[in-house]
Amino acid sequence: MRVFAQRRPLKQCGLICMSLCMLVAAVLALVSPELKGVDNPLLFKALVGHLGLPFSCLILVVHVKKLCFPRELLRINTTGIYDFTSMLSPGFIAWDSIAHIHLQKLGASTYLCLDIHELEAWKTTLNTRQQRLVQANLNMGYSPVRIQLDTLELPIDAQELLRHVRILRASAYEIASHV
């Protein structure tokens, strides 16, 4: 048994539409012979057209790639939790490092929260930005690792996910005790 999550495809489609709008605006700024109502047409063409065109193309390519080739952002199996939901995510967290798992609701968002055994030793495995995020979470009274579930396309709801996580964690300890 394993649980995994990817990005929401509808969000990616929205970002593709926005980048297409930026691309159209950049092309129109470049080919428009007369820009009425603009104080400095050359500056406008340079900023919106020449800089906007490659920028909007880059954004379009990135989001089309994310839509066509989705990657797992969250994978939970018998070895642990793989969190790649953001650039500050800790990556792999082994079950022996996790002391407690619970859900936390803040406003409209739901988080899967992980408390860590031997936190100071675990923090040394993280880069500086990740350590700052962990410390900020602790300073605000939250768990060191919080995974926002609302941004993910999950096959089950948050309570069911928590139940599956606890089952996977228990089975991991069962497997380790038989080895």
- Domains in the chain: boundaries: 7-68, 74-178
Residue 137, pLDDT score:
92
Angle, helices 9-31/52-68, rounded to nearest 10 degrees: 160
- Residue 102's CB is within 10 A of a number of other CB atoms, namely 13
pTM: 0.70
pLDDT in tens, 75-113: 888 888 888 888 888 889 988 888 889 999 998 889 999
What kind and span of H or E run contains 174? helix 158-178
Q: Is pLDDT of 172 > 90?
A: no
The DSSP bridge pattern shows strands 109-116 and 98-106 to be antiparallel
Q: Of the ranges 23-37, 103-117, 160-174, which one carries the lowest mean pLDDT score?
A: 160-174
